[in-house]
A and B are shown apart, each in its own frame.
Chain A
């Protein structure tokens, strides 16, 4: 065990740097193992490694809907919840072969130099082009997120969004699409659109929104009607250091290490016990998307719902926004 080397793949960038400090380094120190890091592009990479019998990674991060799909395809090893303590983690993110690791939120951001503090606060406001004239951007690459906010825009309460009425949500998208000036395909692009004033309001990931605010851009956002999206971690089927990986993964989701994450990045911890460790300063907690207060105002994306509907919904969505 001690002296082993495992390879962990994540998304790279500042997010992975934060994970290194919050999870990887403390785990390596505690277990006496070496953690090598790599970056992933998502489920395709795992599929390629597993189906090609060339598994390089022992643990890899994925979006929750990818985990759900990969699980269905049988790409992952079973997790041992004798080793991994799942208490404190939302049961929807605890599965036989995948477990949640962090949260991202899709939030509504608007420019205060255009709207002052009277900007659109809800997705219904965002859809109200008479009351809130201005240029708009939504995610074009993440159909699940845009369909979720489209359902919210129709006035569906946050606890009734799932299961999403896809046709209803598409009709909602159809109402707004003529007023959408850009369908963004990456977080950086969403940020740039808002930052440069190319659009006055947008859906955006909370990490990007936080960065904009820190940089002093005239923007405002809240977690009200946010869409919480979880990332998860898996052990690819055929991983070479499965046992060490299991112990490392147990460390990653433990409250102590989970509490480290928001100290470095805006992605919230997936284990709610992290907020009881006392590691996170009180004034920081309200800014964290997965804090007990903020979770109440947001919709949690249902990974298993999208596992079965993603392809059809995405094709229809693509069809719609291209018209």
Chain B
């Protein structure tokens, strides 16, 4: 099994889906490039699973178009879509052994017995389950079931693979291991993959691009690093990584907080109330109150310090009572001048680390 020769792009246009009077997806447009690993990320109820179900053909949209390559598939029944899918609970067939589970899609396609055996063997190799073909499904561990589900979804070399929170049932260590394996498998096979998760860390680890969904819409579609560095809405900033939110005011082309001008790398947005997004690891404890130019200084009181071995977390309170979180590595120079809880401190923030989003969302 080599690079999927038939990796195809997906183009979704103006997808609408209502359940009764509740709109679940509204005017949704999304393009997935051929061979791309794209993740739909969002909280429950954001519509990400519904979108995946529409893509697989299990849920009928009220309106819209889905093209895979040049084919319109919005009305194609699921068994003719030739899309592989890994289900959240794996959906392995309990009355079949591992071999027959994986052979199932080949059997439906009339593949000869000898070739079936060969391809199932290869797929088992690929997911590192050599020799387990005769096992019953209920004799497998969670991780093994996950691999069988994966093997079953790719054995027929589908144009597209969909994954619905496939790792959510695994424990943390196994989950992280499988993330890496899935990623490398994708690199080897190159099939177009749409992955659904509510775990932002998983999304960042695995994806070429992430579509952050909220309330039936895509809030932002970007590469993981772009999403993290420049979230465009408060929701995206809050959902990806940890964030401190500080309300700021913009007028005359500059940004102000508590009467002080905030240095920003990007030009200030339109006048009015905004939120400044501050990532905890971008804040620094300043040794003195006179920093280099271009560094913003926030005066605060230290309320608590939590050591985490390699790093520490400070909880500080700004003068307006707002809580801030700071995270840094335990370097000896920082530790040496660590203030005690209750002491006033100065926090530094570089101009290029300021992110401004609209305050309403």
Asked whether any CB of A lies within 8 Å of a CB of B in the complex, the reply is no
Residues in B lying within 8 Å of A, measured CB to CB: none
Residues in A lying within 8 Å of B, measured CB to CB: none
